[in-house]
Structure 1
């Protein structure tokens, strides 16, 4: 799509006041958003920090950022996309909280919990809620498992945050359940404050509180933000609407884009009323409305099918239409005639699996399917037995299936072998289980551990090539049984020891191309790291060993097993080559596939709210009720399948095993449509003439930083592959805590100086800042420093403060996050200090160590110099500053001059950037070859034993 259509043009040039864009499926809404942003930049001089653009997912944010940066490069504009407030609501709110943290309850280094962390946090603290009268209405009845209680509690607490319920009103309620929710919420907020923690819902709540309670912050933000845009507005919730109402300020330049027909996230608190009632927030006629209704994705017959599907539904209830009237049309291309919407509903008694397989093979043999990834199967859930059986049948017949949310993580061979090994090296596990079983306390997951993990692993150990692994297991088991003192590491350390043996190392070999197994092992390493973090386990301790093992296998892993773990999904490749995709309909939103098979046709609308939901909806929400609750199950059902049907580009297939009676397939909600469709075998020759598109590449620019990417890659490309590319969790080392503590306290010093409060830079104040930083860091990292080490950290800072040879007034900025969007990637960095007069500045990078020897450590100094050159390059590209000098400041230096200084050399900087480009090329081409093993880097590497036993065949590379 090279030029906008009239509706898109109208949306692109709109700049002032509120705007509602109703964007149907495939109507070019991202194109419109990008061009609208470009118009604001080019025609209206918008600066990056004046633009706030909200997306529904991080992936969508990365795609949007890439497309904007590509357009900027096309027109030759200097504009830092990374300075825009661009991301999800959560990421933008997190940025605002970081910028104005001094106005919040949050201390530096606060803990950010994902949903599992939040649920586990509650599970570990259920006793804090047990005395609340009526808590069973919130947690569930006393007999249900503790994990289920924590899950129920989490749902209600998040609802209270997202709906911005008045907690005092809940506490005043005579209704026992409502009162219990209010009390539980107060307890939970106290726990968050105590642990300096945030969950995903409270990120938004803390931001709203910040804007409500600090008018100066709100004024500063509304003065800065000129243009606000929100994508997928139909999936926003109450608190998000309230945030936008405040942030748009008096300018009211708020543009929202969405499709009420694709509102799928009521179960997560989203409210379709936000988009349906959006114009009502403003004076009559103030909000302009534009409909993007030309579909550029799908064949006209597919468009006609799903448009008719939605149009004949009963959206008008009690005089209110709960849908924007719309008619979707297809683009004006010439399309080949053909049955592009067909049925693969297999008659009762016939083999549905075989029928689907034959259809795929027919398209393959006729030359239409050139890659299995052109076909996607969409279901209400991919975890059902029916879906799993179809996936297994296709795989058995040679068609690979990609289904990252099908709960297969714990079924994967590589995971079962690791769990089997971890059980074998702790023989006390079986003894504990026998004791519990004798008291009728057996757990169902033990069957999985013993039959699917331990037994296959023991079977492998009988093979001659596993002799070394068997010997290692015996030695470890013996040492654990007789353990009398602390070990050197914990479970994550054992995991890395296992990787040295061929049974496990085979999965990590890059040449095998087994990325799925590699990603799963990386996921397991992160799970073990998270367990150790949540349970304060740094090393195996004989006193707590049995309780740690019980917690790991009978609680932590059990919860993950029962709750389901998603496998890795590549943000840049939503449909991996060589596999058909099995996705949930929710998962497919925003995606498109040449062929879409829509299953779950036995589905019927189902109620998704409880009695307590109903009470809250009618009595405690900020607004009166909108959609009648009894109709919401129908509305949500229609929207869900509309979204599924509209994913198809060239061929839409409604599929299932026909069934009559109970659980009728297709259900009566689809039969009016399916009965009109031709069965695929009856039109097999015609569908073989349909031209299928290729799956589109997702163009995303990734961020690369000198310290965390380039340095690691240059040091050891294999280390980079494991810990950056595959995201294995390394075993942490404490020296990083020491350096971070010094850096954070120096930042406090510099911020006080920037505020003109240099009189505050006393030893007592600095010691207070350092200890406050340490407490927050130790709480987040679960790592601790001794008093002597804390004293040394204070000396590092005080040496700098007392040794400063000029006034504090020359400091311009501290801890400056800077980035630059280049043609193929985004270059990022963080400058510790920018100082100077007028536009001529010097940059300083602090190192919490002794000053190195200028001769013996020349390579290390040159490395630091290159880092400063990157920073100088970023500062000059991002700002109007000109960098004159660059300094390394060594806070550990006690005898001589603590600095090493360099003059800026533009040609050296250009050379450094070219080297950076070369390394990024290698990373993105997955070239992790090594000339030789970098032995110095191996000492502290978690994967060193794996590398010790590797059959290294060093290949010459360009590094």
Structure 2
């Protein structure tokens, strides 16, 4: 008998119905994640399904990590030993990217492609806007505004069109000029991506779709491997995601989709509610099993009844819209009736002004705290339509001024933080010529608000420098300012280098000294400085700036051009667009903080006490008229929901999601003096009692649930770094400071990638293609993609030497390619509280045993002089051997390092397999991981050579 644990009847049916198409409609708090976890366990334990035959697509990376953790914990509790990391589990984007990487030679992409985030994408278009402006009649589809606004509109168009798989060629022949323009925009944009070897989030999916449809062998292989498909949050999927799912499912049609049509929130990202509503109709009548989960275990029964009523009161004289076929009829049932007399849904309003509203909220929070019922501020969450609105940020400022910390990483407060303003002010003061231009108002690209912001940064920096205790940083800034004004050649640093040097002075040094065991608000300045290094580092990468250069270009010194571009263009655009501060996936409600979230952001979360604001909202049209025409003519299916009603559907779904986040107490709040609530809330709002009616003695507020997510560690990226310098690990790995770009290891990467091409050909049984001519072509292709990514080059003698190493390796194999079993193998193993991962260059062998090979593009070293480095390599191979044996059950006979630079002698160093030595290495690995998990970052490096190449050498020297 399978142990269903505490699953109810509906959950048990959802868990055990494994064959054929299944639709699980899961209302809020009905145990959706529990059901998904148990269904995966059921497939593995009861049905004997191998983990690699299961595909689970989730909406966020956090959800994927949580699923992996919960599945592995449950398997361990049942004493089942399997490697869950073999499961295709992740977001659609991450799974598609995995499929692309495994078959990259069949895509338009080359190795070393760069993935664009949303800002990168818009900035790419912005920097190439002249190419788009050359499109005839483009102004007919563009909004009013400058190039940055145009770039945003272009990105919106190309993302929508890509994910709907529109026929760009057919659009180019349309009689409507606007549609022809859109076709030309797509063509220019796609050429940009191809020329630069780039991919964005929408084209990840289109590339994967084309890979599968144009290569039947690859699709057949994936269909053979993947037997069971599960998709979470199916109401938020789009057209191309649905296509990929049905492609992979093939004739088996073992597709289980889970979701809640009442929580479909992402139409603006291309999601369509039709996918979940039409899912059963994709199959023969009665073939799809529909299993509703309606018992809510999250919320008090009063709260459940409240949001049920919200979804039901849409018709009649006031709103005049019906759900009809655009919603599955359902009523969520509370798992038990409320046992308290106090209302669990109330209102907190101000009839006077915003200040009174602030005071009333503060008073109520203090009342909760004083009652002893509120044990941690993180039990409180405020939900808004936007956390960037001045009304929201002023409330956050007010609460923090009164001793209540607010966690609101998406409120675009990054550039308003003191540590960021101070850093930028100090940087600007080191470029007096730029500051003079600010004072003169001579930068035409800046708006008054940018001048005011930069002025405030400089004033803050000047305030620091006037302090008699800060003479060292004053001297440093003055010296560099003088040096930059008189610079005639080049420096040996750029903007990142200056930023890291600032870290040796207070208050920056004190911020970096912060104990990571403190609360999120205490660590926030440190994390923001780390984020600033990422921002500046990306600017230098995109504009290929390695040093400050005083040579003239087009009548102006490069140092002046680059500095103006940094502040007047790049940072200005980021300031306008806003930057999200650090969010920890493992702690969505940090202890000691009230959470300020958007309603969209809160999806999937739950809090004991929830304030829902933004009650002045009204349903608004979110679609573009031009895209409606494109949808009608070129989308692969006609429009689903009536255009005139979608704004009502989306509005009701949004607030249904908000109301259903609350566990014990739901509070609707607004400033009634601001003509809120709107008519859409007025009826339900007027019926609510005030917070004054609450008898807090009746309440028990649950603690916020812990998010159990396992971190991943590898020998090279984590253990080796920590053992070298725990302090370096703290900054680069834990806090994610971006290291200043060193000269890329082009030579080694080029050799490595071309050898990988050889191995891939052998694994495809295409040994006949492993010829000197083809190897040279692969080598040239890899070099071309590498220099685009790394922005650096190899001299011709170095290129020739690298190619010679690869050709010599191929020649030495004497055609014996059949011993290759796997190449570039990503291996991982789930441990009780973390995940080990690694990447093995080559697995080869015959029979039941295998050998591991790690390639080094250098000459074979002296075994005595380089014993420390060889010991490091030996331990790395031990971890790989452990992973291979645990993952596949195969025995490892030997572990080899292959030196491709060795010309005459034996290029290999071989380590014998010794079980006790491997167990010792794994135990040491485990010990180091637990030091990292305890945030033990006290010890620092004592090797002068390592310290000399570390960006934090200035900070450390002044500690």
Aligned-pair distance for 1:390? 1.2
Secondary structure of 2:950's partner? coil
Output the CA distance in 2 between the equivalents of 1:599 and 1:606.
17
Picking from 583, 590, 602, the partner of 1:569 is 583
Q: Which residue of 1 aligns with 2:249?
A: 248
Residue 139 of structure 1: SS of its match in structure 2? Answer: coil
Matched, 1:538 2:546: yes
Give the alignment partner of residue 389 of structure 1, picking from 390, 394, 403.
394
Q: CA deviation at 1:283?
A: 1.4
Pairing of 1:858-869 with structure 2 (within 5 A): 858-869=867-878
Q: CA deviation at 1:397?
A: 1.1
Q: In 2, Cα distance between the equivalents of 1:448 and 1:576?
A: 33
Pairs within 5 Å for 1:140-179: 140-141=143-144, 144-179=145-180
For residues 347-370 of structure 1, give each alpha carbon's deviation from its aligned partner in whole angstroms, at most 9, with x where no partner exists: 235711111111111111110111
The answer for the alignment partner of 2:332 in structure 1 is 328
Q: CA deviation at 1:693?
A: 0.4
| Superposition pairs of residues 520-535 of structure 1, within 5 angstroms | 520-535=528-543
Give the equivalent residue in structure 1 for 2:126. 123
The whole-number CA distance in structure 2 between the counterparts of 1:667 and 1:636 is: 16
- Map of 2:717 onto structure 1: 708
- Tell me how far 1:442 sits from its aligned partner: 4.7
Please name the residue that 1:265 is paired with.
266
Q: Compared with structure 1, are the counterparts of its residues 441 and 407 closer, same or farther at alpha carbon in structure 2 (3 Å cutoff)?
A: closer
Task: Name the SS for the 2:46 alignment partner.
Answer: helix
Residue 891 of structure 1 pairs with residue 894 of structure 2 = no
Q: How does 1:796-835 map to 2 (within 5 A)?
A: 796-804=805-813, 807-835=816-844
Q: Which residue of structure 2 lines up, in the alignment, with residue 4 of structure 1?
A: 7
Structure 2 distance, partners of 1:438, 1:701, is: 52
Counterpart of 1:425 in structure 2 is 430
Say whether residues 1:412 and 2:417 are aligned partners. Answer: yes
TM-fit CA distance, 1:564: 0.8
Equivalent-residue separation in structure 1 for 2:146 and 2:129 (angstroms): 11
Larger mean CA deviation between 546-555 and 703-712 belongs to 546-555
Shift of 1:546: 1.9
Residues 241-269 of structure 1: CA distance to partner in whole angstroms, max 9, x if unpaired? 11112111111111110001101111111
Deviation at 1:487, TM superposition (A): 1.6
Q: CA–CA distance in 2 between the matches of 1:565 and 1:313?
A: 37
CA distance in 2, matches of 1:81, 1:783: 40
Q: Which residue of 2 aligns with 1:103?
A: 106
8 Å contact from structure 2 (residues 621, 647) kept in 1: yes
- My pick for the range that moved more, 773-782 or 132-141, is 132-141
SS in 2 for 1:574: coil
Cα distance change, pair 932–741 in 1 and its aligned pair in 2 (3 A) = closer
Quick one: distance in 2 between partners of 1:438 and 1:703?
50
| Separation in 2, partners of 1:230, 1:205 | 18
The answer to whether the Cα contact below 8 Å between 2:314 and 2:322 also exists between their aligned partners in 1 is no
Aligned to 1:72: 75
Query: TM-score if structure 2 supplies the norm length?
Result: 0.96
**1:903 matched to 2:925:** no
- Describe the superposition over 1:161-184 as per-residue Cα deviations: whole angstroms up to 9, x where unpaired: 112222123212121211110111
Contact 2:433 2:485 in 1 (8 A): yes
Is residue 615 of structure 2 the alignment partner of residue 598 of structure 1?
A: no
The CA distance in 2 between the partners of 1:678 and 1:39, in whole Å, is: 46
Deviation by residue 1:329-379 (Cα, 9 ceiling, x = unmatched): 111377333221111112235711111111111111110111100000000
Tell me the distance in 1 between the aligned counterparts of 2:251 and 2:768.
Answer: 39
Measure the CA separation in 2 of the matches of 1:254 and 1:346.
Answer: 50
How does the TM-score come out when normalised to structure 1? 0.96
CA-to-partner distance for each residue in 1:284-343, whole Å, 9 max, x for gaps? 111110110000111111111111111222499689431111010111377333221111
- Decide whether aligned partners of structure 1 residues 533 and 441 sit closer, same or farther in structure 2, where only a CA change above 3 A counts: closer
Aligned residues of 1:466 and 1:503 also touching (Cα < 8 A): no
Give the secondary structure class of the aligned counterpart of 2:792. coil
Residue 789 of structure 1 deviates from its aligned partner by 2.3
Unaligned runs of 5+ in 1: 951-959
Instruction: Give the match's secondary structure for 2:839.
Output: strand
Deviation at 1:736, TM superposition (A): 2.7
Question: Does structure 2 retain, via aligned residues, the 8 Å contact 1:263–1:636?
Answer: yes
- In the alignment, the residues of structure 1 paired with residue 446 and residue 862 of structure 2 have an alpha-carbon distance, to the nearest angstrom, of 62
Aligned twin of 1:15? 18
Residue 367 (structure 1) aligned with residue 381 (structure 2): no
Matched ranges for 1:692-707 at <5 A = 692-707=701-716
Q: 1:239 to 1:213 in 2, by over 3 A?
A: same
CA-CA distance at 1:222 after TM superposition:
1.7
Deviations 1:72-98 (A, max 9, x none): 111222222211111011001111111
Aligned to 1:953: none
Would you say the 8 A contact 1:597–1:654 is kept in 2? yes
**Secondary structure in 2 aligned to 1:665?**
coil
Contact in 2 for aligned 1:752/1:760 (Cα 8 Å): yes
Quick check: 2:379–2:704 contact (8 Å CA) kept in 1? Answer: yes
**Shift in Å, 1:804:** 4.2
Look up the SS of the partner of 1:251 in the other structure.
coil
User: Which stretches of structure 1, 4 residues or longer, exceed 6 Å deviation after superposition?
Assistant: none
Structure 2 alignment gaps of length 5 or more = 552-557
| Contact kept in structure 1, 2:726 and 2:941, CA below 8 Å | no
Whether the 8 Å contact between 1:133 and 1:176 is mirrored in structure 2 is no
The residue that corresponds to 1:225 in the other structure is: 226
Whole-Å separation in 1 of the counterparts to 2:40 and 2:928: 32
Contact 2:20 2:254 in 1 (8 A): yes
Q: Contact between 2:437 and 2:443, CA under 8 Å: does it hold in 1?
A: no
